[in-house]
């Protein structure tokens, strides 16, 4: 299967709603804790190891970054939440933008919530899920770093998250061995 996401390119980073690109087409919001492996997952999804900067220090991204997949589809990468030392100050900067984005953005089609498979559904993840639910925006729970667990542990972790999510199917991915990204790609495109 040809990877549509392979052509993805960085467009711009914003901190204010007025600076967002034109509200048209489809946008897929990428969210997750600072240490959940979101940047690595974005790079694996797009087959471009240099697209999103990966840092040893979680929480380095402070802007909402837009990546163009094609003329009508964009990936929107949120700053990581819940970890960085200065996350309160950074979050204070972009939290109003995020609330406005969820309230007004017509092109927002789905949120992909990345969680470390060993530590899923932390309070900050639940806050993002609540925001999606209260805004009537669908979401896809994605469990990263699945290569860190045995197949049996992975199966149990996915089943546990699915049980707590009631009706949402979590997808386990590994940026290291690229497992699960075909399924994630198909799931995203179902909403766009």
184 or 17, which is more confident: 184
Backbone angles phi, psi at 172, to 5 degrees: -90, 130
Contacts of 43 (CB under 8 A, 6+ apart): 49, 50, 51, 52, 54, 175
Please state, for a pLDDT cut of 70, what percent of the chain lies above it. 88
123-158 pLDDT per residue, tens? 989 999 999 999 999 999 999 999 999 999 999 999
The domains of the chain are located at 4-191
Overall fold of domain 4-191: Rossmann fold (3.40.50)
Contact indicator for 92, 99 with CB cutoff of 8 Å: no
Q: Give the pLDDT confidence of 90-130 residue by residue, as tens digits.
A: 555 567 778 889 999 999 999 999 999 999 999 989 999 99
**pTM value surpassing 0.85:** yes
The pLDDT score that the predictor gives to residue 98 is 83
Which burial class, exposed, middle or buried, applies to 35 when counting CB atoms under 10 A from its CB (0-12, 13-18, 19+)? middle
pLDDT value of residue 86 = 42
**Sign of torsion, CA 156 154 57 100?**
negative
Read off the pLDDT band of 88 (50, 70, 90). Answer: very low
Q: How far apart are CA 152 and CA 156, in angstroms?
A: 6
User: Mean pLDDT over residues 36-58, rounded?
Assistant: 84
Residues 27 and 108 sit within 8 Å (Cβ to Cβ) = yes
């Amino acid at each position: 299967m040809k990877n549509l996401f392979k052509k993805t390119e960085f467009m711009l980073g914003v901190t204010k709603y007025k600076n967002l690109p034109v509200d048209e087409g489809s946008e897929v919001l990428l969210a997750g804790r600072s240490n959940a492996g979101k940047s690595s997952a974005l790079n694996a999804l797009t087959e471009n190891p240099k697209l999103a900067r990966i840092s040893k220090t979680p929480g380095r991204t402070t802007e909402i970054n837009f990546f163009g997949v094609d003329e009508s589809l964009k990936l929107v990468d949120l700053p990581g939440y819940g970890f960085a030392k200065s996350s309160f100050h950074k979050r204070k900067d972009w939290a109003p933008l995020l609330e406005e984005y969820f309230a007004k953005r017509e092109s927002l089609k789905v949120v992909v919530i990345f969680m470390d498979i060993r530590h899923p559904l932390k309070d900050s993840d639940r806050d993002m899920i609540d925001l999606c639910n209260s805004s009537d925006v669908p979401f896809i729970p994605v469990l990263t770093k699945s290569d860190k667990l045995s197949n049996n542990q992975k199966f149990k972790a996915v089943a546990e998250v699915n049980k707590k999510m009631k009706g949402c199917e979590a997808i386990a991915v590994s940026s290291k061995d690229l497992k699960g990204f075909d399924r994630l790609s198909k799931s995203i495109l179902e909403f766009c």
